[in-house]
């Protein structure tokens, strides 16, 4: 089931005017920031489909920037997020695209700073609900509704078992898991949705496992 909670239907509490174009957009921006792990210095936001057609009138642009500044859907500062971004030292640009995408409300957010950059694609599926469909070229399906751990690793045997064992040790239940790789033997990605937030201690232990490149988490 796509919608699990009554608050997906009676909610979110949000700044108008559109749950898909404003609240969903804010959530996509916020997940991107979560995945990046810190305030980005710059953002390039590619908009597709209905997002590209109507983003100005729906405040999709200010909502995505608000999300990148870590604002929730109901944060009044969404309305003035362009100024807030300037104050936070984040530059940004919006690029409406004409290319075909599977979902009418799609955004690709490329963010970065002096240290690294990241690309993420998100879709807004209605009522403020979103899914993350791609991360740094890896296809994935992430609802953003549950805490999740993302593990970038070398494609070697035992990697997945080690991560699962570590989570088992801390009694963390895996709700959904996807594994993908770009090419056999090279870089791979594990996306693990879990039932509770994961402590720093667990994250540190995961990082120490062999062949693990990067571990990030998305809090609930």
Q: Which residues bind other proteins (CB under 8 A)?
A: 1-20, 22-23, 50, 53-54, 56-59, 74, 76, 79, 104-105, 125-128, 195
Q: What are the distances in angstroms from CA 214 to CA 127, 178, 190? A: 32, 16, 10
Comparison of 81 and 189: residue with beta carbon closer to other proteins:
81
Q: Are 144 and 27 in contact (CB under 8 A)?
A: yes
Least distance in angstroms from the C-beta of 215 to other proteins = 25
Least distance in angstroms from the C-beta of 73 to other proteins = 9
- Between CA 70 and CA 38 the distance in angstroms is 9
Least distance in angstroms from the C-beta of 209 to other proteins = 28
Least distance in angstroms from the C-beta of 53 to other proteins = 6
Comparison of 2 and 169: residue with beta carbon closer to other proteins:
2
Comparison of 16 and 185: residue with beta carbon closer to other proteins:
16
Task: Sort strands 129-135 and 91-96 into parallel, antiparallel or unpaired.
Answer: unpaired
Among candidate residues 194, 12, 28, 16, the one with its CA nearest the CA of residue 124: 28
Is residue 24 classed exposed, middle or buried when 0-12, 13-18 and 19+ CB atoms within 10 A define those classes? buried
- Between CA 44 and CA 119 the distance in angstroms is 9
Least distance in angstroms from the C-beta of 62 to other proteins = 9
Comparison of 57 and 158: residue with beta carbon closer to other proteins:
57
Comparison of 10 and 114: residue with beta carbon closer to other proteins:
10
């Amino acid at each position: 089931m796509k919608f699990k909670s009554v608050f997906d239907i009676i909610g979110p509490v949000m700044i108008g005017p559109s749950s898909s174009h404003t609240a969903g957009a804010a959530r996509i921006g916020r997940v991107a920031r979560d995945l990046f792990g810190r305030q980005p210095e710059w953002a390039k936001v590619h908009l597709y489909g209905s997002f590209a057609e109507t983003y100005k009138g729906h405040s999709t642009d200010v909502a995505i920037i608000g999300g990148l500044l870590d604002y929730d859907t109901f944060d009044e500062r969404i309305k003035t997020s362009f100024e807030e971004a300037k104050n936070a030292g984040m530059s940004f640009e919006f690029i409406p695209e004409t290319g075909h995408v599977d979902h009418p409300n799609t955004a690709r957010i490329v963010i970065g700073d002096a240290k690294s950059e990241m690309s993420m694609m998100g879709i807004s599926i209605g009522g403020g609900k979103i899914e993350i469909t791609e991360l740094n070229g890896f296809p994935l399906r992430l609802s953003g509704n549950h805490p999740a751990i993302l593990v970038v690793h070398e494609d070697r045997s035992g990697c997945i078992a080690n991560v699962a064992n570590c989570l088992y040790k801390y009694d963390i239940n895996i709700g959904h898991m996807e594994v993908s790789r770009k090419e056999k033997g090279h870089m791979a990605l594990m996306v693990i949705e879990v039932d509770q937030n994961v402590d720093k201690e667990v994250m540190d232990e995961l990082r120490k496992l062999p062949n693990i490149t990067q571990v990030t988490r998305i809090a609930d």
